[in-house]
Amino acid sequence: MNEMKKNSVTLVLTLVLCFALFTVLLVSTNLFSTDYAQAETGEIAIDETNFPDTDFRQYVSDEADADGSGFLSDEEIAAVTEMGIANMGISSLKGINYFTALKSLYCYGNNLWSIDLSENTALEILYCNNNNLSSLDLSKHSSLQKLDCSGNNLYSINVNGSSLLHLNFEKNKVKEIDLSGFTSLTYLNCDMNDLTDLDLNKNVNLLYFYCANNELTQLNLKENVVLNTLDCSNNKLTQLDLNGNESIQYLDCANNGMTNLKLNGCINLATIDCTDNGLSELNLNDCTKLRILTCHNNDLRILDLSNNKMLTSLYCANNKLLTLDVSMCESLSKLDCDGQEAEYAAPQKGNVWELDLSEPLKDWAKVSGVSVTDGTLGSDGKTVTFDGESAVVKYAYATGFGQRNMFITLTLTHGFRITVEGGIIAGTGETLTSVAENGTVTVTAQPPEGMIFEGWSTDGGKTIISQEVTYTFNAASDTALKAVYSSAPTSTPETGETPSEPDETPSGTEDVSPDIDGEITPSPAEPDGLSDGAIAGIVIGSIAGALIIAYAVCAILFKKGIIKGAFLSKLYPFIKDKQ
């Protein structure tokens, strides 16, 4: 019987000890087995589990594992602030989340379909261009300043909350983007997307703007007064107003179907490309620093370059120019002015239509080689008469660029003579022109100083037919328009009145404090799992708990007399030993 009791006691004690050891092992296993395999010291193993991409894992091993242990210590992780892993064939960046101190990441030219940088909130520079990304969320990256995600399949980009200075997302599929929060943005490239609208009113520091090959129908750049470079080619813009943008030096607005381009005040503009539009006039008077002008394939009838003396290259082929004078452009080295085909309406005279070519061609001495088809050239060499639907005149015009002539084909049609007094004809700047039957004519009044415009008259001022300063009508006959003016009243200030002082602070304004410059320090990343102290405390507590359970069980057995001994009497002095 005693032997049986001893065996039972031994079994119970064994079970208690096993239970205690199992508890300790279970707690230890749960604590040390996190989502990522780690060494007993808390280091990150550089293995397939943590870094599944072979090439990325090799990079981490070569560049981040300073001691070659196969594990990343906290010190080794903190030392990685830049990664250059471009063009390495990487398809996954899983494991990059460990590098929370990363500031610069260059991972362009890989095979990435997705990228999770939610833990890398210290990033300041990210180049992930030329991958296969379809979405990109950088909303937590308040320190991000440069982002190049061009050449992907992005439909959307979430960069709200960042402090971007440089943004390039060309060659994607973005249809809309909100840039209102990036007041410090200086560089923006959104070429080759699907944008239909873009609001840049808040981006007042923008210097370089590229938005070519989109679906933009309008562009408001009134607030972007420091803009240096603009490429808005291959969109659907019908007009572009850059009046007052004094800082702009480069402009490419080609292939838009644009009929109106305003460049007043663009005093620093050096390069213009407005090719393949529908421009009938181009005012370059303020562009005194212009060096390169490319304006071929438009409807230009006049090109005044008298103020563009610094011009070095001129490409104006395939327009409707009747004359061209570049003699004042002393630095000009390249000129392409071929393919000028224009129309001009000849007024009727009796049973024929007749035009003195010196009327549209003011400087007749520069004209040579005149020939006429389907009409007659008069003995004076400049009067053309025809009785058919049209006549074709070909001539050469001396441009003033060495011996270079511009060759023009001019088709004469039936039309009416339009004369203007007190104004000019839009598109020509002249006061006399001819227009085709039912052709549209636009005239603009030019009031002399101290005069007020009253309206347009066709009978010498007796009857006003329009009070619009710029008046458009369809020609149905020879027309002589006169702009009617009257003297402006002289204002005499009333005596005895003192102008009221303006309010010190205009109504409707707010006192806005300036932003405080300085870098935003990212919050330290939360460590994965429990700290070493917490782990040690739980392990010690588990062992203590197991020992307490064993002590209690033995106390019960000793009290019932199942186990005996002098040692137990000392261990449990409050229990009387049953002998």
pLDDT, mean of residues 544-555: 64
Arithmetic mean of pLDDT, 428-435: 80
Over range 506-521, report the average pLDDT.
Answer: 36
Res. 15: pLDDT tops 70: no
Of residues 391 and 515, which shows the higher confidence score? 391
Percent of the chain with pLDDT over 70: 77
Task: Quickly state the pLDDT bin for 523 (edges 50, 70, 90).
Answer: very low
Of 283-292, 426-435, 476-485, the least confident: 426-435
Phi and psi, residue 62, nearest 5°? -75, -35
Q: What is the mean pLDDT of the chain?
A: 84
pLDDT by residue (tens digit) across 214-244?
999 999 999 999 999 999 999 999 999 999 8
CB-based contact 226:200 (threshold 8 Å):
no
Q: Give the angle subtended at the CA of 148 by the CAs of 143 and 151, to the nearest 5°.
A: 150
N- to C-terminal Cα separation, the chain: 15
What is the torsional sign of CA 39, 42, 43, 45?
Answer: positive
Cα gap 298→564, rounded to integer Å = 114
pLDDT at 163: 87
**How many CB atoms within 10 Å of residue 206?**
25
For residue 477, what are its two tokens?
A: 């006959």
As a whole number of angstroms, the distance between CA 443 and CA 456 comes to: 10
Q: What is the largest CA-CA distance in the chain?
A: 155
User: Which pLDDT tens digit goes with each residue over 456-486?
Assistant: 999 888 899 999 999 999 988 889 999 999 9
- The tens digit of pLDDT for each residue in 47-75 reads 999 999 999 999 999 999 999 999 999 99
Distance CA 81, CA 79 (A): 6
Q: Is the pLDDT of residue 207 over 80?
A: yes
Of the listed ranges 8-12, 93-97, 429-433, the least confidently predicted one is 8-12
User: CB-based contacts of 367: which residues, under 8 Å, 6+ apart?
Assistant: 357, 361, 382, 395, 396, 397
Q: How confident is the model at residue 539 (pLDDT cuts 50, 70, 90)?
A: low
Which pLDDT tens digit goes with each residue over 343-352? 999 999 999 9
Q: Which residues pair with 189 in a beta bridge?
A: 168, 210
pLDDT of residue 132: 97
**Residue whose tokens read 């039936």:** 414
Residue 557: pLDDT band (50, 70, 90) is: low
8-state DSSP, 550: H
Percentage of the chain modeled with pLDDT above 90: 65
Q: 453 vs 430, 470, 473, CA distance in Å?
A: 19, 11, 18
Residue 16 predicted with pLDDT over 70: no
DSSP state of 430: B
Task: Give the model's pLDDT for residue 542.
Answer: 60
Q: Average pLDDT in the 261-279 region?
A: 97
Q: Model confidence at 545, in pLDDT bands (50, 70, 90)?
A: low
Q: pLDDT-derived band of residue 439, with 50, 70 and 90 as boundaries? A: confident
112-152 residue pLDDT tens: 999 999 999 999 999 999 999 999 999 899 999 999 999 99
State residue 164's pLDDT score: 95
Angstrom CA distances, 468 to 61, 423, 444, 532, stand at 77, 12, 9, 84
Higher pLDDT residue, 14 or 509? 14
Given this model, what pLDDT does residue 216 score? Answer: 97
Tell which phi-psi region holds residue 535, choosing left (phi > 0), alpha (psi between -120 and 50) or beta.
alpha
- Cβ neighbors of 42 (< 8 A, separation 6 or more) are 74, 532
Residue predicted with more confidence, 485 or 362 = 485
| Residue matched to tokens 């005279």 | 349
Section 160-175 average pLDDT = 93
Q: Where are the domains of the chain?
A: 2-33+531-571, 206-338, 383-487
Least confident of 298-307, 424-433, 473-482: 424-433
Task: Give the burial class of 160: count Cβ atoms within 10 A of its Cβ; 0-12 exposed, 13-18 middle, 19 or more buried.
Answer: middle
User: Which among 123, 67, 56 has a CA at the least distance from the CA of 91?
Assistant: 56
- Decide if domain 206-338 falls under CATH 3.80.10.10: yes
Contact 256, 234 (CB under 8 A): yes
Residue range 555-563: mean pLDDT, rounded: 62
Identity (one letter) of the amino acid at 328? M
